[in-house]
Amino acid sequence: MTMKNNGVLNYKKYRKMKKKKFNRDKWYKELDKKEMKDTPSRPSCTKTPCTGCVSYGTSSYKFSVDSKSWADAKISCVCLKGKFLEAETREENNFIKAELNTMNTGIDGYWLGGYNFNKDRSLEWISHPDQPMTYSDMYPGEPNGPSSQRCLLYWRQFGYAWGDGFCTAKLSYVCEFIKT
């Protein structure tokens, strides 16, 4: 059995193959391999103070000034000892959205930690690839690229509502840090 489907790792097949021995870390490693193919540059992992972070609830958030592919953005957040933003509630998402509108950077879009794992009509949070999102802020008509646009973004033209986008696009991104 092959894990590849048109060159793309198929989550369902992979999971079926592994059955009870499904290993999420390994799945991510395989996913990274695929996502990293077009973006071989791995950033150096240096922990830096969270400068310019904004605080909300039990988290603080960093809006990047640099632009990266979705996969590189994910790695950057981990490098900074944070995680790729998963805006799981309306309150959290509205806060981030308001910040983006206030900052008004002119940047086209900001990546966050959602991905279309099974190429269907919905995206999942990377922490919960097998669960549907309980909250969504998809712009009308989005997501519209189940197999070609698998990565979640805040899009300026949508008033920073969500859309699915081409994962290799170089965009800014949002990292989340849990306060300790």
Note the residues at the interface with Ca ion (CB under 5 A). 116, 118, 120, 122, 142, 144, 149, 163-164
d(CA 41, CA 141): 33
Task: Report, in Å, the least distance between residue 65 CB and Ca ion.
Answer: 24
Q: Give the residue among 41, 115, 121 at the shortest CA–CA distance from 84.
A: 115
Task: Report, in Å, the least distance between residue 108 CB and Ca ion.
Answer: 12
Decide whether 57 or 132 has the Cβ nearer to Ca ion: 132
Task: Report, in Å, the least distance between residue 109 CB and Ca ion.
Answer: 10
Quick one: the chain helix, strand, coil %, rounded to 5?
30, 25, 50
Question: How is residue 42 annotated by DSSP?
Answer: P
Decide whether 137 or 142 has the Cβ nearer to Ca ion: 142
Task: Report, in Å, the least distance between residue 135 CB and Ca ion.
Answer: 15
Decide whether 109 or 163 has the Cβ nearer to Ca ion: 163
Decide whether 61 or 111 has the Cβ nearer to Ca ion: 111
Cβ count within 10 A of residue 157:
10
Beta-bridge partners for 109:
155
